[in-house]
């Protein structure tokens, strides 16, 4: 079973991008940390064309996009958007709830944590990776 880790919502404040221009984003709140995904990139990712970059957000009088934290991409089944962070954490959001958020039928979309695979829990430090996975 998937564990609820946070939610997505439309940004309530103006967000400034890397070039200094205001941009629309979807806020992603996971474990108390705020991230953002550009609305334009998110729509392309939902269509399956590209992966959308996920940014860390910072506030200094206004909300700003900071460093890239990960990628968001359409799942293999096409029923969810998966978000994978550089630190290895993975999350998912149902495409139905995300579309409901984008069409303003709902105010948020719940995000669930994906379980880590056995290869992530027990990385290969030396020797054969198959031997390491067998001992986990």
In this prediction, residue 125 carries a pLDDT of: 41
Least confident of 41-50, 53-62, 127-136: 127-136
Cα distance between residue 135 and residue 68, in whole Å: 35
Q: Structural domain boundaries of the chain?
A: 3-135
Cα distance between residue 77 and residue 57, in whole Å: 30
In this prediction, residue 117 carries a pLDDT of: 64
Give the side-chain half-sphere CA count within 13 A for 18.
9
> What are φ and ψ of residue 107, in 5° steps?
-95, -15
Instruction: Tell me the mean pLDDT in the region 65-72.
Output: 92
Cα distance between residue 39 and residue 98, in whole Å: 12
């Amino acid at each position: 079973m998937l564990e609820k880790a946070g939610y997505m919502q439309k940004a309530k404040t103006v967000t400034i991008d890397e070039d200094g221009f205001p941009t629309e984003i979807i806020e992603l709140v996971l474990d108390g940390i705020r991230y953002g995904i550009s609305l334009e990139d998110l729509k392309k990712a939902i269509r399956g064309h590209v992966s959308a970059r996920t940014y860390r957000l910072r506030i200094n009088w206004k909300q700003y996009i900071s460093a890239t934290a990960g990628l968001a991409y359409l799942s293999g089944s096409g029923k969810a958007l998966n978000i994978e962070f550089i630190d290895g954490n993975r999350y998912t959001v149902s495409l139905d709830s995300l579309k409901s958020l984008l069409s303003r039928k709902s105010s948020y979309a719940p995000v669930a944590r994906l379980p880590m695979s056995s290869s992530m829990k027990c990385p290969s430090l030396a020797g054969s990776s198959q031997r390491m996975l067998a001992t986990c």
